[in-house]
A = this chain, B = another copy of it.
Amino acid sequence: MTNASIDDVAAAAGVHRSTVSRAFSNPSAVRTQTREHVLRVAAELGYATNPLAQALRRRSSTLVPLVIPDITNPFFAELARATAAAAEQRGYQLVLCVTENDGSSTAGYVTAMQAMYSPFGIVAPSTRVDLEALRTYGSGNRVVVLDRVEDDPSVPTVTVDSRRGVELAFEHLALLGHRAIAYAPGIVGTYTAQDRHEAYEEIAAGHGVAPLVLGAPDGVELGRGIVDHWLAEPVRATAIIASNDVIAFAVIAELEARGHRVPDEVSVVGFDGLDLGAHVAPRLTSVRQPIGDLGRIAVDLGESLLDGGPVRHEVLPPSLLIRSSTSGPRS
């Protein structure tokens, strides 16, 4: 129960509170001997500076909000972990804000950010609605976005090259001998989702294969909808590229449940490269996003925003994780 305040320490050490303050926040401004004495007394009293009071007075804190749509999606969970680690290392504390796919609350978080005197915030938008909110409420604020933001080049962004990712998946499948390669989109609305989808269409066309997009009707569980669609097509795809790992899991579960073996009958490749994908059956071949880098660079961009450096738009290269959910087509 440490209740000691700066004045308690000052009294106990026989100095003025400003000296105590300096001993902690600006050590070089106080004589070594004094500083050590103050620090010792502070330790005895179990004193720790109060970040709230500090933030209030300085009008700036080290609390950086990370806004994500759904902590339950392992991709965002891994992203949160990586970003928290990167932030911590730089002396920031990440505070996780989960919007539950409700774009509107992003605005609330941007407001909260001001109240916390955050130096900057990081948002991984669930939909473009979020981005709208950001522009409206966030102008003048320091925000970095984990996605592309086409209309406003003034906000720094980190993204993974979606096109390249889809290409990696497609070429892997083509090399295996697949010709009928379909795409399973998931939740739409972000630039990222759109990029992957468009990339698929272009790349398929480039390879001379007719694009087949396995959309699921609204309201039906994604895995089931996608597999229904797959079955209904006159020419059945021998491989499916899922727009993310969670969808790939759902598709595989549904496929297997209906007696279609993966990869024997259909190959499936995911997108994200989650650790979890190595621990499901079959182990998921997937386009790996460098999640650690994503988090680290997001923090970097935030810091360079503080320094008034140039606004950067980083695009990271994905790689392919070949595991067991893909094989050559059954001839």
In the assembled complex, how far is the CB of residue A120 from the closest CB belonging to chain B, in whole angstroms? 14
With CB as the reference atom, state the residue of chain B lying closest to A252: B281
A72 neighbours in B (Cβ, 8 Å): 74, 77-78, 81, 275
What class of interface size applies to chain A in its complex with B? 35 or more
A256 neighbours in B (Cβ, 8 Å): 281-282
| B281 adjacent to A117 (CB under 8 Å) | no
Q: Is A269 an interface residue (CB 8 A)?
A: no
| B2 adjacent to A114 (CB under 8 Å) | yes
Contact with B along A54-92 (1 / 0, CB 8 A): 011000010000000001101001101100110000000
- Docked CA distance A55–B56 (Å): 11
- Docked CA distance A204–B128 (Å): 54
| B51 adjacent to A115 (CB under 8 Å) | yes
| A53 adjacent to B56 (CB under 8 Å) | yes
A257 and B282 contact, Cβ closer than 8 Å, known pairs A52-B55, A74-B72: yes
A252 neighbours in B (Cβ, 8 Å): 280-281
A53 neighbours in B (Cβ, 8 Å): 56
Q: Is A306 an interface residue (CB 8 A)?
A: no
Q: Is A25 an interface residue (CB 8 A)?
A: no
Contact with B along A215-255 (1 / 0, CB 8 A): 00000000100000000000000000000001001101101
The dominant DSSP class at the A interface is helix
A249 and B56 contact, Cβ closer than 8 Å, known pairs A1-B140, A111-B48, A139-B1: no
Q: Is A278 an interface residue (CB 8 A)?
A: yes
A115 and B48 contact, Cβ closer than 8 Å, known pairs A74-B74, A249-B279: yes
In the assembled complex, how far is the CB of residue A109 from the closest CB belonging to chain B, in whole angstroms? 11
| A246 adjacent to B71 (CB under 8 Å) | no
Q: Is A276 an interface residue (CB 8 A)?
A: yes
A280 and B56 contact, Cβ closer than 8 Å, known pairs A72-B77, A141-B1: no
With CB as the reference atom, state the residue of chain B lying closest to A85: B100
A315 neighbours in B (Cβ, 8 Å): none
Q: Is A187 an interface residue (CB 8 A)?
A: no
With CB as the reference atom, state the residue of chain B lying closest to A84: B98
A255 neighbours in B (Cβ, 8 Å): 281
| A249 adjacent to B139 (CB under 8 Å) | no
Across the interface, A253 reaches (CB within 8 A) one of B2, B50, B117, B281, namely B281
In the assembled complex, how far is the CB of residue A143 from the closest CB belonging to chain B, in whole angstroms? 13
Contact with B along A275-292 (1 / 0, CB 8 A): 110111111000000000
A112 neighbours in B (Cβ, 8 Å): 51
Please, could you name 17 A-B residue pairs with CB atoms under 8 Å apart, sorted by A? A2-B114, A48-B115, A51-B112, A52-B52, A56-B56, A71-B71, A71-B77, A72-B74, A74-B74, A77-B77, A246-B276, A246-B279, A252-B280, A253-B278, A253-B280, A253-B282, A255-B281
The 9 closest A-B pairs by CB, nearest first: A256-B281, A250-B279, A96-B96, A1-B140, A253-B281, A253-B279, A72-B77, A71-B77, A280-B280
Taking A56-B56, A77-B77 as given, write out 8 further A-B residue pairs in contact, using a Cβ cutoff of 8 Å, ordered by the A residue number: A1-B139, A2-B111, A74-B74, A84-B98, A246-B279, A249-B280, A250-B279, A257-B283
